[in-house]
Structure 1
């Protein structure tokens, strides 16, 4: 349970750091690419296994790590476009509701237990995420661009599902640190290619503050993934519960911090979502 809680705390720290990016007008892509290399450096220091490109490419799970990293980069850019064209609410709901994909795979394909309390808790968690994420006045979206949130939903869900699959069948428990480090290595490499393309077409202005922001983001970025993998490897907790609780508490804590730190206003729907989230936590606790 401690690994799940740490993953939730570090993921929330990622969201809060990104919130500060907006305040200081940082370039998200530049800072996030820097954060990948910062996380890579932390992973190399933290890992018990030697990190080298030939050694990494020799691992049986390298294809999974490359696939996940590609999905991370694609989904991030889709999220940026969707937030600009349809608002943060559309992007947030699409991203958070994608948790149904690894949950579905865990219950129906991996034959995890699906008791009444567990199903009820997951449904309440999903509804809680939906209502809590919706913001009044921002849910205006051109229906002709329906494919953007749909692709975010698919991309985020597949990334989580592949992470779980790799952890369960390919990555040894003592190699979780190397696997998480490899994700940031591939993300960083792909990100550099994207930045080079933007530079070549004259659509990129480098800034020192983006470097600082990326270095700060890299710390929670690494540990959010590392502790999620550690939580997924715990034999007493199933995939569906891990992803449900993780996703639910990240949204819940982020909303509460936004309320107290940034004086964000909540609608009636948001309060309904918070109530459902609290009830879901209680139900899932008894379902474990």
Structure 2
């Protein structure tokens, strides 16, 4: 439970930084790129990982995460532009269905009735927590494609991390290090292309911003993996609690830090999320 709580806090911290980035016109791709350099350094200093032979590593999982994690940051930005924040948030949160289904069909978890009720409560809580009453703007032509990528991408990332945490041949710290290195390489390639096409200019302050973002992102992924290891036989608990927790804490931060307004539906959603967590963890 502690690992999930720490991962939730780090995840919300990342969201806060990205929200502030938009407010202060910060190039998200530059910040995201340098965030991975911090994650690499922290992993190296704290865990002293070794770069292992690809012949014994889960190459497909590593490559999938190494590409999906940085690319999805860019897709999220494109989706917000094309579809609005509300529609994009709906797609992101509903991705919960993919890892939950994977818990049953891929990881062979036994989902008894009470746990299914808790998961369904969590899904309802997610839907209720989204600010449906706010205008998200009209979706641009073809914008549905971005939403589909966000929905599938977020769900696939959750599943890939679960598979990575279950891999026993190589220490998870070494796998985490390799993921961050691959993410950094992919992000640098995207950034170079963007700079070469004159869509942005290199800015030193973005390195400092990226380093701060990297500390929170490192904690988010590290504790998420540890949670899956601690609850190896119950992946649905981690998947559901993370999504519910991020929504609940994120909503509270929005209310008290950013002075966002909550509708009655949002308040019901927070209450349902707490009930769902209790049901999932105690039955």
Task: Please give the range of the TM-score, normalised by the shorter of the 2 chains.
Answer: over 0.9
In 2: Cα distance, 1:15 partner to 1:200 partner:
28
In 2: Cα distance, 1:37 partner to 1:157 partner:
25
Please give the TM-score of this superposition, normalised by the length of structure 1.
0.91
In 2: Cα distance, 1:70 partner to 1:145 partner:
22
Contact 1:176 1:226 in 2 (8 A): no
Q: Does 1:257 align with 2:220?
A: no
Runs of 4+ aligned residues of structure 1 deviating over 6 Å after TM superposition are none
Contact 1:65 1:183 in 2 (8 A): yes
Encode CA deviations 1:241-274: one digit per residue, 9 max, x unaligned. 1110011111100110110011011123312322
Encode CA deviations 1:117-136: one digit per residue, 9 max, x unaligned. 11011111111112212342
In 1: Cα distance, 2:53 partner to 2:94 partner:
32
Structure 1 equivalent of residue 158 of structure 2: 160
Q: Does 1:106 align with 2:136?
A: no
In 1: Cα distance, 2:56 partner to 2:41 partner:
20
Contact 1:12 1:254 in 2 (8 A): yes
Contact 2:231 2:238 in 1 (8 A): no
In 2: Cα distance, 1:130 partner to 1:74 partner:
25
Q: What SS does the corresponding residue of 1:134 show, helix, strand or coil?
A: coil
Structure 1, gaps ≥5 residues long: none
Q: What SS does the corresponding residue of 1:277 show, helix, strand or coil?
A: helix
In 2: Cα distance, 1:118 partner to 1:141 partner:
37
Q: What SS does the corresponding residue of 2:230 show, helix, strand or coil?
A: coil
In 2: Cα distance, 1:286 partner to 1:206 partner:
50
In 2: Cα distance, 1:140 partner to 1:118 partner:
37
Structure 2, gaps ≥5 residues long: none
In 2: Cα distance, 1:84 partner to 1:175 partner:
40
In 1: Cα distance, 2:274 partner to 2:160 partner:
29
Structure 1 equivalent of residue 148 of structure 2: 150
Counting matched residue pairs gives: 282
Structure 1 equivalent of residue 177 of structure 2: 181
Encode CA deviations 1:160-186: one digit per residue, 9 max, x unaligned. 111212222x245x7122212221111
Encode CA deviations 1:221-257: one digit per residue, 9 max, x unaligned. 1111111111101146511111100111111001101
Compute the displacement of 1:103 (Å): 1.1
Q: CA RMSD in A?
A: 1.8
Q: Does 1:13 align with 2:4?
A: no
Q: Return closer, same or farther for 1:199/1:106 CA change in 2, 3 Å cut-off.
A: same
Q: What SS does the corresponding residue of 2:136 show, helix, strand or coil?
A: coil
Please give the TM-score of this superposition, normalised by the length of structure 2.
0.93
Structure 2 equivalent of residue 200 of structure 1: 196
Structure 2 equivalent of residue 277 of structure 1: 273
